[in-house]
Amino acid sequence: MEILSLQNARVKSWTQLQEKKHRDKQNKFVVEGIHLVQEALISGADIECIAYDYDQGIPHELKELPDNGQGVEWIGVTEAIISKVSHTSTPQPVFAVVRKEKMTWDDLFAQKDKLVIVLDGLQDPGNVGTIIRSADASGVGGVILGKGCADLYNPKTLRSTMGSLFHLPVIEGELTDILPQAREMGARLVTTSLEGQTTAFHYDFGGSCWIVIGSEGSGVSPEVSALVDDAIIIPMPGKAESLNAAMAASVLMFEALRQREYSN
């Protein structure tokens, strides 16, 4: 199939997906570039269609990949259409329109003794995406985005995940509802604090442990902080005053991995 006109109705609906309100309304989002489209295909994401530069043809990296029986629609489009739909200044020659998948809390609660990362008001999409990528790399059970966080489907967030959002549960929700439930089911809630008495390297991350990461500017909100069991500190013997949220979260995730898998 080919679409060559910028006035095509589907092109207009794809372009709208640059805005959160339309992503929510259509329940879809766009991933741009060969790598993210590859990850979507390999992971069995619910892909509506893949649009590629008609003049260049389907990228060879994608030709041999299975569509997992989904019957993905491939559409040749013009470079102008790709530029219109794309969020980047130098668009890649392919994008996919993906339907949002509804993750449930059961997806997390079913994973016993897992580490879960909870983000509270983290507004920077690069940090949110990087944390999801680190969570994937370190084998975390899932990531929760509370109110005030950057939208998971923001193009900058998606690029920063490098495809990791397709590899583990990432759920948006109300933390004051879910965190008490997690505690009732045996999870310990821990966050970082400059007043923490225990270092991250002496804290026991075993069992069901949920790490709460606060916003870049103001940290964990008072209502979420009131639900947390433990506060720990990341030792910083150097002269830097702090780490950004993604760096701090990554340190904690990989320390937890070391304790869980490499302590013997």
The pLDDT value recorded for residue 69 is 52
pLDDT tens digits for the chain (264 residues)? Answer: 899 999 999 999 999 999 999 999 999 999 999 999 999 999 999 999 999 999 999 999 998 776 655 678 999 999 999 999 998 888 899 999 999 988 777 777 777 789 999 999 999 999 999 999 999 999 999 999 998 999 999 999 999 999 999 999 999 999 999 999 999 989 999 999 888 889 999 999 999 999 999 987 888 999 999 999 999 999 999 999 888 999 999 999 999 999 999 987
How much is the pLDDT for 67? 62
Any bridge partners for residue 28, and if so which? 99
State in Å, rounded, how far the first CA of the chain is from the last one: 57
Sheet holding 142-145, edge to edge: 170-172, 142-145, 115-119, 209-213, 188-192, 230-233, 198-199
The tokens for 214 are 């606060």
Res 104: pLDDT: 78
Q: What is residue 109's predicted lDDT score, i.e. its pLDDT?
A: 75
Which pLDDT value is given to residue 111? 73
Q: Which tokens is 216 given?
A: 């870049």
Q: What is the pLDDT of residue 222?
A: 93
Question: So what's the pLDDT on residue 106?
Answer: 78
Q: What are the backbone angles phi and psi of residue 99, rounded to the nearest 5°? A: -80, 135
Distance CA 2, CA 23 (A): 24
pLDDT of residue 188: 95
For the full predicted model, state whether its pTM sits above 0.85: yes
- CATH numbers and ranges of domains, the chain: 2-99 (3.30.1330.30), 105-261 (3.40.1280.10)
Can you tell me whether residue 141 is helix, strand or coil? coil
Q: Report the pLDDT value the prediction gives residue 70, as an integer from 0 to 100.
A: 64
Task: Give CA–CA dist 74/2, Å, rounded.
Answer: 9
Separation of alpha carbons 264 and 258, rounded Å? 9
Classified as helix, coil or strand, 259 is helix
